[in-house]
Amino acid sequence: MPFAGDDVRFDLMCGPGADGRWRGSIGVRVEADALRRLGLHPSQPSSVVDGPSPPKWWHAAGERYAVTGSRLPRRP
């Protein structure tokens, strides 16, 4: 693994939402110096947005797939 044990931090955040159902999310933090060792830094060209964002349906399909694990139906 490219990171030392103290370079990465995982946080689990959970609690009841507005509707009373429990929600959870995971936060991942990586030390900046650990990313620099891998050649990832703010002055790197790929670290800034260089084009338009994908369309809204693309994001919705990605979120749907992440939640359900389903794919588009196969064409005959």
Q: What's the CA angle centered on 19, arms 18 and 24, to 5 degrees?
A: 70
**What DSSP character marks residue 62?**
H
**pLDDT digits 0-9 by tens, 57-71:** 888 888 888 777 666
Query: What parts of the chain have a pLDDT lower than 70?
Result: 1, 42-48, 69-76
- In the chain, the number of structural domains is 1
Does residue 33 form part of some domain? Answer: yes
Does residue 75 form part of some domain? Answer: no
Does residue 61 form part of some domain? Answer: no
At residue 61, what are phi and psi to the nearest 5 degrees?
-65, -40
Note whether 33 and 6 are within 8 A (CB). no
Q: Which domain holds residue 33?
A: 1-46
- Nearest alpha carbon to residue 26 among 9, 8, 12, 7: 12
Q: Where in the chain does DSSP place strands (E)?
A: 8-16, 22-30
What pTM does this model have? 0.45
